[in-house]
Structure 1
Amino acid sequence: MTATPPADEARPGDALVRTGGIVFIAGALATLATMAPLFLGTDPFPSYAWAVCMLMGVGFAISAAGVLRSAAAQRREARAAVGALGSAGGSAGGSAGGSAGGSAEQTG
């Protein structure tokens, strides 16, 4: 298992998650501002204000891309660690598999 990096160290995808969160919050605030006139009984905002509400979905997509990028980087690190362990202990695994196969043939 890989060690968790320090909190101050930037990892792949962190900037995307942060940016997506900011865009999502901007979209949420725009949604609140756009919906308020409907509940207050005043004139609704024009259609371009409704388009700004779509930032919530855009922010969510950006954050999801950051999470996927971070997961891919962690998967690559794990595979590299397993590859390093496999090359160091490959002979022990091969002999254990061979002896188990031999004993199964003898009993059958």
Structure 2
Amino acid sequence: MTGRSRDLGENLVRVGGVVFVLGTLATIATVVPYLLDLPRLPSIAWGLSMMMPLGLLVALVGLFATARAESRRRRAAREAAAAS
């Protein structure tokens, strides 16, 4: 980052990555008892596993938002260069 603050898209990518990792850990935690024949985790653990696709979705939305913002910046710079 050069002196400018992070835009919304970059923040969404970061948040999406964290949510995805937490969902991955929850998925691992819910599958391991099946593999090791341990007592099963409650249903809420399976619900937390849904954080993985949610994190992926949030990160993808952030990527698209960043790409659109960058496209707008390039277009504005190109128009400013053509006008001068």
Q: TM-score, normalised by structure 2?
A: 0.88
Which residue number corresponds to residue 66 of structure 2? 70
Which residue number corresponds to residue 39 of structure 2? 43
Comparing 31-40 and 8-17, the one that deviates more: 8-17
> How much has 1:7 moved relative to structure 2?
7.3
| RMSD of equivalent CA atoms | 1.7
> How much has 1:22 moved relative to structure 2?
0.8
Alignment of structure 1 residues 14-93 onto 2, 5 Å: 14-88=10-84
The amino acid across from 1:42 in the alignment is L
* Structure 1 residue runs of 4 or more that deviate by more than 3 Å after TM superposition: none
The amino acid across from 1:32 in the alignment is I
Structure 2: distance between partners of 1:75 and 1:30: 36
Unaligned runs of 5+ in 2: none
Unaligned runs of 5+ in 1: 89-108
Contact conserved, 1:12 with 1:69, CA < 8 A, in 2? yes
> How much has 1:56 moved relative to structure 2?
0.4
Larger Rg: 1
Paired residues, number = 84
Name the structure, 1 or 2, with higher relative contact order (CA <8 Å, separation 6+): 2
The amino acid across from 1:39 in the alignment is L
Contact conserved, 1:12 with 1:73, CA < 8 A, in 2? no
Matched-pair identity in %: 37
Q: TM-score, normalised by structure 1?
A: 0.70
The amino acid across from 2:67 in the alignment is A
Alpha-carbon distance change, 51 to 72 in structure 1, aligned in 2, over 3 angstroms: same
